[in-house]
Amino acid sequence: MKHEKTVKELLEVLGGKDNISNYEHCATRLRVVLKDDDVVDKEEAENITENKGYFYSTGQHQFVFGTGLLTKYTLILNKKCQEVPLPTPIHRSKKTLMQI
């Protein structure tokens, strides 16, 4: 899938999911704050599939993807960046006073 490829390239350019401090998006841009900004190669960032532009400003790496794509990318990024899966809830049996 093309969107999966784009997110994979994005994570590689950003130094992996462990290097991401925070990310958000507006209608056209993905904004990413990193723990280590030095790992990003500007030329590689500009050549990410479907990326229409890249720049670094005010501590944020900004990728321009255009309208309509960022929701898809963010859903995939959320899935890939999920820190630790939530534990499975423990289901305890409910006993009434009559059963004790």
Active site residues: 26
Bridge partners for 55 per DSSP: 62
| Helices and strands (DSSP H and E) totals, the chain | 3, 4
The sheet with strand 20-25 has its strands ordered as 20-25, 29-34, 60-64, 53-57
